[in-house]
Amino acid sequence: MEVPYVVFEVHRKGKKTGTYAIDVYFVEFVALKPRKAVFIKGLGSISLLENAEKPLPRLLQVPLGEFLMNLYSGLLHESRETRRERVNHMRRWNIARIFGIPTGHSRHIAVDERLAKVERENTLGLALLEKVLGVKDDRESVEIREVKLLYRRLWLENGEVRDENGADKVYTNLLKIDPVFRTAFYSALLRETALTEEIREKAQAFS
């Protein structure tokens, strides 16, 4: 398959700080919002083509700068909320234990593990975005400039997603852990583009 990538530059206070590329097809198909950040690639780390014979369409329609900033703001808010929820949950559980109130040990462990997983994913997404954008609080100083649309040829081989440089660990891992991405990936391989809207709805329901 030939996946569309937008090459973009990051500018801070008028100076270019980096050039990257982002998958603008599969970024719409992940079960958790922070996973959108892992589709950003360093420009020198992947092979991109000027032309494609039968490319997948660009599905990300909002301006890239708006998308990245909204993603960063959303993850920042959700990270704080998840951390607060986790602390409050543990505090309530500890109080109940002190007073000998039975609350279900395994249930509390399961809740804490779920929140911890969400917190880890949010932290990873934020770390990636902060590295790319080079920003934490002074978001107004960042400008994202779209440069051009290129294409990356991907295929599946022995359970790994690969390109000309070898296996892509991010896509391969998403294929294993993310049900929305997995459905979208196999649909793209089979050129079942009619499933696009159905998969997009699933992704929105998850995230």
**Are 144 and 59 contained in the same domain?**
yes
Query: Per-residue DSSP letters for the chain?
Result: -EEEEEEEEEEETTEEEEEEEEESSGGG--SSGGGGGGGEEEGGGS--BS--SSBPPP---S-HHHHHHHHHHHHHHHHHHHHHHHHHHHHHHHHHHHTT----HHHHHHHHHHHHHHHHHHHHHHHHHHHHHT-SS-GGGEEEEEEEEEEEE-EEETTEEEETTEE-HHHHHHHHH-HHHHHHHHHHHTT-GGGHHHHHHHHHHH-
What confidence score (pLDDT) does residue 108 get? 54
> Which of residues 133, 166, 181 is at a domain's end?
133
> Which of residues 108, 133, 158 is at a domain's end?
133
**Are 127 and 174 contained in the same domain?**
no
How many domains does the chain contain in total? Answer: 2
**Are 147 and 57 contained in the same domain?**
yes
pLDDT in tens, 41-82: 998 889 999 999 999 999 999 999 999 999 998 898 887 776
pLDDT in tens, 154-204: 999 999 999 998 999 999 999 999 999 999 999 898 875 555 666 666 655
**Are 92 and 191 contained in the same domain?**
no
pTM score: 0.78
**Are 58 and 159 contained in the same domain?**
yes
Domain assignment of residue 119, given as a range: 70-133
**Are 144 and 100 contained in the same domain?**
no
> Which of residues 133, 154, 184 is at a domain's end?
133
Residue 32, Cβ neighbours under 10 Å: how many?
Answer: 18
**Are 126 and 151 contained in the same domain?**
no
